[in-house]
Chains A and B, each alone.
Chain A
Amino acid sequence: DTAVSQTPKYLVTQMGNDKSIKCEQNLGHDTMYWYKQDSKKFLKIMFSYNNKELIINETVPNRFSPKSPDKAHLNLHINSLELGDSAVYFCASSQDLATGKKNEQFFGPGTRLTVL
Chain B
Amino acid sequence: AQSVTQLGSHVSVSEGALVLLRCNYSSSVPPYLFWYVQYPNQGLQLLLKYTSAATLVKGINGFEAEFKKSETSFHLTKPSAHMSDAAEYFCAVSTSSASKIIFGSGTRLSIRP
C-alpha gap A21/B108 in the complex (Å): 27
User: A43-B103, A56-B99, A102-B51 in contact; A90/B94 too (CB < 8 A)?
Assistant: no
Residues 87-116 of A, flagged 1 when their CB comes within 8 A of B and 0 if not, give: 000101000011011111101111000000
Q: Which of B15-23, B37-45, B63-71 contacts A (4 or more CB under 8 A)?
A: B37-45
B-side residues, CB < 8 A to A, are 32, 38, 41-46, 49, 51, 88, 90, 94-96, 98-101, 103, 105-106, 108
Would you give the shortest CB distance from A60 to chain B, in whole angstroms?
A: 13
Q: Which A residues are CB-close (under 8 A) to B103? A: 42-44
Q: Which of A1-52 contact B (CB under 8 A)?
A: 4, 40-45, 48
Residues of A within 8 A of B (CB-CB), count: 24
User: A101-B95, A103-B49, A104-B49 in contact; A41/B105 too (CB < 8 A)?
Assistant: yes
Would you give the shortest CB distance from B21 to chain A, in whole angstroms?
A: 14
C-alpha gap A112/B41 in the complex (Å): 9
Q: Which A residues are CB-close (under 8 A) to B106? A: 41-43
A-side residues, CB < 8 A to B, are 4, 40-45, 48, 55-56, 90, 92, 97-98, 100-105, 107-110
New contact pairs (12) apart from A43-B103, A109-B42, CB-CB < 8 Å: A45-B100, A45-B101, A48-B100, A55-B99, A101-B95, A101-B96, A101-B99, A102-B96, A104-B46, A105-B46, A107-B44, A110-B41
Q: Which B residues are CB-close (under 8 A) to A103? A: 49, 51
Q: Which A residues are CB-close (under 8 A) to B41? A: 109-110
C-alpha gap A70/B84 in the complex (Å): 38
Would you give the shortest CB distance from B63 to chain A, in whole angstroms?
A: 15
C-alpha gap A41/B10 in the complex (Å): 12
Evaluate contact between A105 and B88: CB separation under 8 angstroms: no
Would you give the shortest CB distance from A57 to chain B, in whole angstroms?
A: 10
C-alpha gap A101/B32 in the complex (Å): 8
Choice from B42, B49, B51 contacting A110 with Cβ under 8 Å: B42
Q: Which A residues are CB-close (under 8 A) to B100? A: 45, 48, 56, 101
Q: List 5 A-B contacts (CB under 8 A).
A: A41-B108, A43-B103, A48-B99, A101-B100, A101-B101
Evaluate contact between B90 and A43: CB separation under 8 angstroms: yes
